[in-house]
Amino acid sequence: MTIIQILFWLLSALVLLSAIMVVINRHPVYSVIWLIITFFGISGHYILLNAQFLAVVNIIVYAGAIMVLFLFVIMLMNLNKDMEPQKSKWLKLVGAIACGCLLLVLIAALKDIDINNQIAETNTGNIGLIENLGTVLFTKYVIPFEISSILFLSAMIGAVVIGKKD
């Protein structure tokens, strides 16, 4: 086993473990902290694939911005009790069915993938470097890039409309 393989298995174990901890932890603040650890594990995977820009953006945006927002919301809602409220049985059943459907879709999508012909460019692949990503983003994918700015605008308006009632 090369060192990359060892790191891959270690990171995968970390990601899976922390993702499970996010779900089974009863205290929302701990869930958020486990989720942050999950993002770090995923960033580690990106680095192994030499997608350096994605790795750091994953940390800045997910671990550094979205998780801060989650923490804000959890810390400032009225969470006096350490336990999340018990849901009714029906709600649990609905949740299980919905998640089962998602799992089915994922399995169906992944079933036909030809894994053997895909070679992961570990360590030396350079498509994930910022220079190459930037070139592709601003030439080939410039329209989706512009459309994303409209998405941001609508998100901002939505946030202000909901947050500022007057």
Partner 1 sequence: MIDLLQATVNSPGTTSASYLPIGLQVLFVVGLVGFLLIITHFLGPKRQTAEKLETFAGGIASHGDARQPMAINYFLVAILFVLFDVEIIFFYPYAINFRALGWDGFWAVMMFVSFFLCGFIYIIKKGALIWED
Partner 2 sequence: MDLMVIDIWLIIEKLALVAIVVSISLLIAMYSTYAERKVAAYLQDRRGPNRAGPFGILQPLADGGKLFFKEEIIPLTSSKFLFVLGPALAMITALMTSAVIPWGGTLNWFERNISLQIADINIGVLYIFGVISLSVYGIMIGGWASNNKFSLLAGIRGASQMISYELAMGLTLIALLMLTGSLKMSVIVEQQINGPWNIVYQPLGFLVFFICALAETNRTPFDLPEAENELNFGYHQEYSSMKLGFYLFAEYIAMFISSAIMATLYFGGYDIPFVNESSLSASIGHNLVTILGGFALLLKVSFFLFVFIWIRWTIPRFRYDQLMNLGWKKLIPLALFNMVITAVVILLLDK
Instruction: Give the CA dihedral 162, 159, 77, 66, nearest 10 degrees.
Output: 160
Options 19, 33, 37, 48; binder of partner 2; rule CB under 8 A? 33
Which segment (6-14, 61-69, 83-91, 102-110) binds partner 2 by CB under 8 A?
Answer: 61-69
Element (H, E) at 28: helix 28-48
Q: Which of 17, 37, 48, 59 lies at the binding interface for partner 2 (CB under 8 A)?
A: 59
Which of residues 52, 121, 136, 149 is near partner 2 by CB under 8 A? 52
Contact status: 24 vs partner 1 (CB under 8 A): no
What is the Rg, in whole angstroms, of the alpha carbon atoms belonging to the chain?
A: 20
Per CB under 8 A, 71 contacts partner 2: yes
Query: Does 79 participate in binding partner 1 (rule CB under 8 A)?
Result: yes
Both structure tokens of 76: 């400032």
DSSP code string of 35-91:
HHHHHHHHHHHHHHTT-HHHHHHIIIIIIIIIHHHHHHHHHHS---SSSPPPPPHHH
Instruction: Report 103-132 residues binding partner 1 (CB under 8 A).
Output: 122-124, 126, 129-131
Please select the residue that binds partner 1; options are 24, 69, 83, 107, rule is CB under 8 A: 69
Can you spell out the DSSP letters for 90-110?
Answer: HHHHHHHHHHHHHHHHHHHHH
Report the interface residues with partner 2, using CB under 8 A.
Answer: 29, 33, 36, 52-53, 56-57, 59-60, 63-65, 68, 71-72, 75-76, 129-130
